[in-house]
C-alpha cells in the first residue's frame, strides 16, 4: 500500500448555497461525459457524522472501534479519528495509517487470526498493546515478540461459524487452555472478543450464546488470576438504524445481566460497514447492451413485453468495486441517472454485468429498469464498505476517482464535534462548490 505522501491531494468539496449531492453527481457525470466516461465515486462526509450520531444515541454504552480494512480512505480515517473512534487494524500498513491520523496506540487493536511476525513486532515497537489471539501458535508468537501485549481472546460463535466455512475463533474449552498457557508464559489476557455477522437470522439467540460464553471466559480468567475488563462484541452492523436497534434490544439486557456497569468492564464494538457504507455512491457507465428474448413460455404469455429482457455491460464489475459480489453479497439495483427517465417509462427485467466477459462478472441479476442506452449512467448507493480499496488490481481502472463532499450545514456540525479536515490533514484541501 502506498504511503500518504505518495498520494495526490484529496479534495473535499464544501457544498454551498443549496447545492445538493445530486447536483455534484450531475456535474461529475457531465465532466466525465466529455472525456472517457470513467466510473467514479462520490463520498458524503456528513453521512459519517450522522452515522456516528445515530450510534451514540442508540448504543452510547458501546465504544466504537473502526475496522480500517472496511474503507481506509485517508479522509474517512481522519473524520472518524477526530470523532474519537478507536481503530482495529489487521496489518502493519493499517497500524501506520491509524497512527498517521493521530490515533493513540491505546485506542488501536491489532486483530487477525494469524499475524505476521513483523506485524507483531511493529505493534510492540509502536506501543500498540491490544492484540487479538485465538490459538496457541499465535500466543507463542506474541509471547516471544511482544512483552507488553494485552490479549483479547477471540471466542467462536455459532453464527459466525455458520457463515464462514473456516473455523474461526476459539471454543470455550480451548479458551480455558489458552488462558492456562498465557498464565504459564506470563502473557496478560485482558478481555474477550467475538463477532456475530449481520446475516445472522436469530440475533437474540446468537448474542445470548456469545455473551454467556464470554461471561464464562471472564470467570475462568478471574480464577487464573487475570483481570479481564474488556468485552468486544465485534461487527455485523448493517448501517440501518432499525438493525442497530434490534441488536441493542438483544444485547442490552444481556450486558445488564452479565457485564453490568458496576463490573467495570469496558464494552466495545467494531462497526465498519455501519459507519461507511451509506457515505459512498458509485456512478458507472453503460458500455454495452443486448436484448435477450425468452422463447420458453411464449405460449402462456401474450405479445406483451414480459419476455423481453435486457443485458447491460457496465464499465466496472466484480474485478473492481463490486468485488464483494464474489464473496456472496448481493448488490442492490442501481438508480438510473435522471436525464434518461420519463415518468411512465416501462420497466424491463434487466441484468447488469461488468466489462470482463467472464461468467462470474455478474453484478445484478434481474432487476427492473427502464430501457437504457449505451452511454447512460447508473448510480449504486451504499458502496462505502469493502469496495474502494486499491488492492483490487484486476480492474483496468486502478483506483477510481473519489470526490468527497460535505454540505455546509453538516460541515458546521462536524466542526463543532471536533472535526478539522483542512487544518489537520496534510493531503486534503477543501474547495467551495456553489451553483
Ligand atoms: C471486518 C471485521 C469487522 C467489521 O465488520 P462489519 O460487519 O463490516 O462492521 C469487525 N470485526 C472484525 C474482526 C472484522 O474482521
CATH number at residue 369: 2.40.37.10
310 secondary structure, DSSP code: E
Residue with cell 461468467: 359
Q: Is the residue at 82 inside a domain?
A: yes
CATH number at residue 95: 3.20.20.10
Alpha carbon nearest to ligand 1 atom 7, residue: 236
pLDDT given for residue 167 in this prediction: 57
Same domain for 293 and 336:
yes
pLDDT at 424 (0 to 100) = 58
255-303 pLDDT per residue, tens: 999 999 899 999 999 999 999 999 999 999 999 999 987 655 545 555 5
User: Does residue 166 share a domain with residue 55?
Assistant: yes
Query: Do 97 and 214 reside in the same domain of the chain?
Result: yes
Q: What are phi and psi of 225, to 5 degrees?
A: 90, 10
User: How far does the centroid of ligand 1 lie from the alpha carbon of residue 135, in Å?
Assistant: 19
Which residue stretches of the chain have pLDDT < 50? Answer: 1-6, 298, 391-395
Please indicate, yes or no, if residue 4 is contained in any of the structural domains.
Answer: no
pTM of the model: 0.90
**Contact criterion met (CB below 8 Å) for 94 and 115:** no
Best mutation site among 55, 88, 112, 244 for ligand 1 pocket (most ligand atoms within 8 Å of CB): 88
- Are 202 and 57 contained in the same domain? yes
Give the integer Cα–Cα distance in Å for 134 and 318. 32
Give the 3-state secondary structure of residue 392. Answer: coil
CB 61 within 8 A of CB 376: no
The pLDDT of residue 174 is 87
* DSSP reduced 3-state for 407: strand
Same structural domain, 239 and 101: yes
DSSP state of 404: E
Q: Is residue 433 assigned to a domain?
A: no
CB atoms within 10 A of CB 69: 18
Last-in-domain residue among 219, 243, 275:
275
Task: Answer yes or no: do 90 and 29 share one domain.
Answer: no
Q: Does 238 lie in the same domain as 102?
A: yes
Ligand 1 centre distance from Cα of residue 273 (Å): 8
* Residue pointed to by grid coordinates 513483523: 118
Q: Is residue 385 part of a domain?
A: yes
Q: Any residues with Cβ below 6 Å from ligand 1, and which?
A: 67, 69-70, 111, 195, 198, 234-237, 270-274, 385
- Out of 51, 70, 134, 152, mutate this one to test ligand 1's pocket (max ligand atoms within 8 Å of CB): namely 70
Same domain, yes or no: 180 and 290: no
Q: Are residues 52 and 157 in the same domain?
A: yes
Residues 204 and 343 in one domain: no
Task: Count structural domains, the chain.
Answer: 2
Does one domain contain both 168 and 306? Answer: no
Instruction: Report CA(68)–ligand 1 centroid distance (Å).
Output: 9
Domain-terminating residue out of 219, 246, 275 = 275
In angstroms, how far is CA 26 from the centroid of its own chain? 26
Give alpha helix (H) positions in 60-188. Answer: 74-82, 92-100, 117-125, 136-145, 158-163, 172-185
Tell me, yes or no, whether 80 and 103 share the same domain: yes
Question: For residue 428, is it within any domain?
Answer: no
Domain membership of residue 111 as a residue range: 46-275
Nearest Cα neighbor of 426 from 116, 77, 31, 15 is: 77
Residue 1 lies in a domain: no
Q: Does 412 fall in a domain? A: no
In a domain, 429, yes or no: no
Amino acid at each position: 500500500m502506498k504511503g500518504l505522501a505518495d498520494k495526490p491531494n484529496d479534495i473535499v468539496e464544501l457544498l454551498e448555497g443549496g447545492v445538493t449531492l445530486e447536483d455534484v453527481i450531475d456535474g461529475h457525470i457531465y465532466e466525465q461525459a466529455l472525456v472517457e466516461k470513467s466510473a467514479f465515486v462520490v463520498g458524503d462526509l456528513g453521512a459519517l457524522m450522522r452515522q456516528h450520531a445515530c450510534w451514540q444515541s442508540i448504543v452510547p454504552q458501546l465504544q466504537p472501534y473502526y475496522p480500517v480494512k472496511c474503507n481506509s480512505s485517508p479522509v474517512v480515517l481522519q473524520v472518524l479519528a477526530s470523532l474519537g473512534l478507536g481503530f482495529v487494524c489487521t496489518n502493519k500498513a493499517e497500524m501506520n495509517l491509524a497512527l498517521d491520523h493521530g490515533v493513540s496506540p491505546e485506542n488501536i487493536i491489532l486483530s487477525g487470526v494469524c499475524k505476521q511476525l513483523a506485524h507483531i513486532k511493529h505493534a510492540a515497537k509502536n506501543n500498540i498493546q491490544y492484540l487479538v489471539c485465538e490459538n496457541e501458535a499465535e500466543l507463542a508468537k506474541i509471547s516471544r515478540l511482544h512483552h507488553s501485549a494485552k490479549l483479547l481472546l477471540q471466542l467462536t460463535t455459532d453464527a459466525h461459524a455458520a457463515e464462514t466455512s473456516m473455523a474461526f475463533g476459539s471454543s470455550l474449552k480451548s479458551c480455558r487452555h489458552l488462558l492456562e498457557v498465557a498464565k504459564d508464559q506470563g502473557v496478560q489476557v485482558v478481555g474477550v472478543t467475538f463477532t456475530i455477522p449481520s446475516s445472522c437470522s436469530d440475533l437474540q439467540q446468537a448474542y445470548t450464546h456469545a455473551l454467556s460464553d464470554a461471561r464464562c471466559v471472564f470467570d475462568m480468567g478471574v480464577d487464573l488470576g487475570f483481570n479481564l475488563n474488556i468485552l468486544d462484541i465485534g461487527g455485523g452492523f448493517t448501517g440501518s438504524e432499525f438493525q442497530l436497534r434490534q441488536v441493542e434490544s438483544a444485547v442490552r439486557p444481556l450486558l445488564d445481566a452479565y457485564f453490568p456497569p458496576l463490573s467495570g468492564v469496558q464494552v466495545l464494538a467494531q462497526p465498519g460497514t455501519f459507519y461507511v457504507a451509506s457515505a459512498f455512491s458509485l456512478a458507472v457507465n453503460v458500455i454495452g447492451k443486448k436484448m435477450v428474448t425468452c422463447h420458453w413460455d411464449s405460449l402462456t404469455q401474450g405479445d406483451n413485453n414480459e419476455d423481453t429482457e435486457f443485458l447491460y455491460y457496465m464499465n466496472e464489475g466484480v474485478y473492481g468495486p463490486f468485488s464483494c459480489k464474489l464473496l456472496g453479497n448481493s448488490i442492490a439495483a442501481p438508480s438510473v441517472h435522471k436525464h434518461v427517465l420519463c415518468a411512465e417509462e416501462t420497466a424491463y427485467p434487466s441484468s447488469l454485468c461488468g466489462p470482463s466477459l467472464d461468467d462470474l462478472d455478474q453484478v445484478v441479476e434481474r432487476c427492473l429498469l427502464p430501457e437504457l442506452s449505451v452511454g447512460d449512467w447508473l448510480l449504486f448507493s451504499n458502496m462505502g464498505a469493502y469496495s474502494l480499496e486499491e488492492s483490487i488490481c484486476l480492474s483496468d481502472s486502478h483506483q477510481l476517482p473519489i470526490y468527497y463532499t460535505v454540505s455546509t450545514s453538516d460541515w458546521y456540525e462536524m466542526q463543532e464535534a471536533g472535526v478539522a479536515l483542512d487544518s489537520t490533514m496534510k493531503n486534503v484541501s477543501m474547495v467551495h462548490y456553489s451553483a
